[in-house]
Structure 1
Amino acid sequence: MSLKRIYTITGFIIAIIILGIVLVSSWYTVDESEQAVILTFGKAEEAIQEPGLHFKLPWPVQSVEKLSRETFSLQFGYDQKKNKVKDYPDETKMITGDENILMADLVVQWKITNPEKYLFNSEQPNQILYNATSSSLRSIIGSSKIDDALTSGKAEIEAGVRELLTSLIEKYDIGISIMAVKLQDVELPNTDVRKAFTDVTDARETMNTKINEAKKYENKRMNEAEGEKEALISRAEGEKASRIQIARGDVAVFNKLYNEYKKNPEITKERLVIETLEQVLPGAEIYIMNDDGNTMKYLPIRPLEKETPITEKKEEGGDQNNEG
C-alpha cells in the first residue's frame, strides 16, 4: 500500500471522528428538573431554563453546565443520612442575649436561582451559605432570651434568621435564594440544666394556670354582680313607677274629695268617717241613728243587706208558683 493511500485513509478516519464529535456535541437535552448554562470558551453566555432538546456550537467552542432546579436542604449542626443522625455540638453551642448557653440546630431550604452566578461568583457557594447560616443563627440567638428560644419565641427566631440570612446571601450574590428556615432542636447543654429549666417552666405554667383560673372566677363574679345590680335597678325602677302612679291616683282622689268637700262639707266629712270605719273595722255592724230627743231610733244596715237577697228569692219563688 502506498504512502499516499495511507494518508488518505487516515485523513478520512480523522474527518469522520471530527464529524462525529461535532454531531454529538452540538446537541444537548435539559430535563424538567434541570437548568443549564452555555459556556463559550469557558465564558458564561446564557442560562437555559426550558426543558427539551437544544442546539449549541460543538466542543470545544461551547460546552454545557447543568444544575438542578430542586430545593436543597442545608443541615446546620447535624448530619442525617440513611436514618442515622450525627450531631456536631461544637457548632450548635451558642450564647443567648441574657448570657445563657444553649444548643440550636436548623434546616435551611434553598434553591439555585441564577446558575451563572452560582458557578462563577464563588468557588464554594455551599460553604458560604453554611457560614452565613451559622452567623445569622448566632446573631439572632445572641439577641434573644433563653425563655423565648426554648418556648414560645421559636417562630420569631426563625423569621429573624431567615431575614438576616437572605440579606447576607443577596450581599454575597452567589445566585441562590433562601426558601425557608426551620429550627430543629433547641435545648440546654446538659441534663441537670435541662431539668432545672423544665422545673422553672412547669412552675411558670402552673402560675399562669392559677392566674387564668382566678381571672375566670373574677369575671364570673363580676358578671353575676352586674346581673344582680341590673335586677335591683330594674325592680327599683318598677317600684318607683308604681309608687308614682299610686301617688298620682291618690292625688286625683284627694282632689275630687276636696271638690266635693267644698260643695258639701258636712256630708263629705260623714262619708269619710264611715268609709274609714269600714276600713278600720271591717267586721263591725254599722247603724244609722237619729235621735230627736226622747226616743232613739236606728236603722240596722247589715241585717237589711243580708235580708235583701232572701226577699228577692221569695219573690222569685212566688212568681214561679203564680206561673204554675
Structure 2
Amino acid sequence: MKRALVVILILVAGYFASGLYIVGGNEKALLRRFGRARLPLVGSGLHYALPWPMTTISRINPSEVRTLQIGGVASESLEGDQFLLAADQYQLDEFLTGDKNILNVQVNVQYRISEADAADYLFGCVNPEEHLRLMTESLLGDVVARSGVDFVHPLGLAELRAMLTQRTRKLVQSHRLGIVIEDVDIAGVSPPLLVKQAFVDVSNARASKQRFINEALAYREQTVAAASANARKNVDEAETARRSAIESARGEADRFGKIVAQFQADADGGVQTYEQSRQMTLRQKYLEMLEAIVPKLASKALLDTDKPVNLTIFPENNK
C-alpha cells in the first residue's frame, strides 16, 4: 500500500514538474490556460506553468525576419529536369501587364511575427504564410495589370516596390495575420524565354536613346558654356573700349577747353585777338597732323607747276 502511494506521489510530482519550461534567448512564449491566451508573452528563461492539458505553451521568435518567395524568373536553360521546372513556373509566375505583355516576376516578402499580435498569428489563421502568399500574389497581379511593361521592366521597380510594400502592410493588418511586413522586394523581372530577345533589343534601343540624349546634353552644355565665355569676353572688351573712349574724350575735351581758355586769355591780355589765336592754333594742329600722316604714306606726289599751290585748308582771314 505504501509502495503504491509512493508511486502515485512520484507520478503526481512528475506530472506537476512537467510544468517547468524553458524559453530561449530570442524566443517569446504564449501561454494558453484552458484554451484562453494569456498576455503578455513570457520572456526568455526558466518558467513554470500548470502542466498540460491545463496549459499549452507556444513559442515564437518575434525578432527573426523570415522570407517568403513568390513567383520566379525564367531559367536560361531548359535541358533535362529544368524543362519541367520551367514549364511549371510559366503557369505560376506569369503576370499580364496593362499593355497586354507577359512578364515573369519574383517577389521576396520579408516579414516577422508581431509580438503584440502573436495570438492572431498562432490561432487567428490556419496557415498565415499561405494566406500571405495568396494575398501578395493577388496584389502583385493587380499592380502589374495596372502598369505598363516599361514601368515594371525596368523603369519603375523602386516605385513598384514601395507600392507593394505599403499595400501588403495594410492588407495584412486588416486580415489580422499577426505578422509585420518589413519589405516586399522585387527580386527579379524577366520576359518569357520565347520573347526575351525582343526585350533585349528594346532595352538596347532604350540605352542607345539615353546615350544619344546624354551626348546631346553634354554638347549643349559645352556649347552654351563656350558661348557664355565668348559673350563675357566681348562684353568685357566692349566695356574696356567704352571706358577708354570716355577717358580719351574727356582728355580731348579738357585739352580743347584749355585751348579755348587760352584764346580768351590772349584776347583779354591784348596779346592778339581771339580769332588770331584761333587761326594760329588751327594751323599748328594742321601741321602736327601732317607730321604724323605724311611719314605713313606709301607714295608721294610732287606737283611741278609754275603757279604756287596752297596746301592749307585754313586760309588766312584777311578781314
Task: State the TM bucket, normalised to the shorter chain.
Answer: 0.7 to 0.9
- Aligned counterparts of 2:142 and 2:42: Cα–Cα separation in 1: 36
Structure 1 match to 2:179: 176
- Aligned counterparts of 2:14 and 2:291: Cα–Cα separation in 1: 140
Tell me how far 1:163 sits from its aligned partner.
Answer: 1.0
Q: What are the residue-to-residue correspondences of 1:218-233 with 2, within 5 Å?
A: 218-233=220-235
Structure 2 match to 1:76: 70
Structure 2 match to 1:108: 109
Taking structure 1 as reference, are residues 78 and 207 closer, same or farther at Cα in structure 2, changes over 3 Å only? closer
Residue 277 (str. 1) matches residue 287 (str. 2): yes
Structure 1 match to 2:192: 189
- Aligned counterparts of 1:165 and 1:195: Cα–Cα separation in 2: 33
Taking structure 1 as reference, are residues 89 and 11 closer, same or farther at Cα in structure 2, changes over 3 Å only? farther
> Structure 2: where are the runs of 5+ without partners?
74-80, 296-319
Q: Which amino acid counterpart does residue 202 of structure 1 have in structure 2?
A: N
Preserved CA contact (<8 Å) 1:136 1:161: yes
Paired residues, number:
272
Point out the more displaced range, 145-154 or 165-174.
Answer: 145-154
- Aligned counterparts of 1:44 and 1:23: Cα–Cα separation in 2: 22
- Aligned counterparts of 1:142 and 1:56: Cα–Cα separation in 2: 52
Preserved CA contact (<8 Å) 1:29 1:51: yes
- Aligned counterparts of 1:156 and 1:267: Cα–Cα separation in 2: 91
Q: Which amino acid counterpart does residue 106 of structure 2 have in structure 1?
A: D
- Aligned counterparts of 1:91 and 1:245: Cα–Cα separation in 2: 87
Q: Which amino acid counterpart does residue 189 of structure 1 have in structure 2?
A: P
Which structure carries more strand by proportion?
1
1:34 corresponds to which of 27, 40, 50: 27
- Aligned counterparts of 1:112 and 1:64: Cα–Cα separation in 2: 16
2:202 corresponds to which of 192, 195, 200: 200
Q: What's the C-alpha RMSD, in Å, of the aligned pairs? A: 2.3
> Structure 1: where are the runs of 5+ without partners?
285-324
Structure-2-length-normalised TM-score: 0.78
Structure 2 match to 1:306: none
Deviations 1:83-109 (A, max 9, x none): x99663322111112221111011111
Q: Percent identity?
A: 28
Deviations 1:230-266 (A, max 9, x none): 2112211221221122122222222222232232342
Taking structure 1 as reference, are residues 207 and 78 closer, same or farther at Cα in structure 2, changes over 3 Å only? closer
Structure 2 match to 1:235: 237
Q: What are the residue-to-residue correspondences of 1:113-262 with 2, within 5 Å?
A: 113=114, 114-191=117-194, 193-262=195-264
What secondary structure sits across from 2:29 in the alignment?
Answer: strand
Tell me how far 1:207 sits from its aligned partner.
Answer: 1.5
Query: Comparing both chains, which one has the higher relative contact order based on Cα–Cα distances under 8 Å and sequence gaps of 6 or more?
Result: 2
Bigger Rg, which one:
1
What secondary structure sits across from 2:180 in the alignment?
Answer: strand
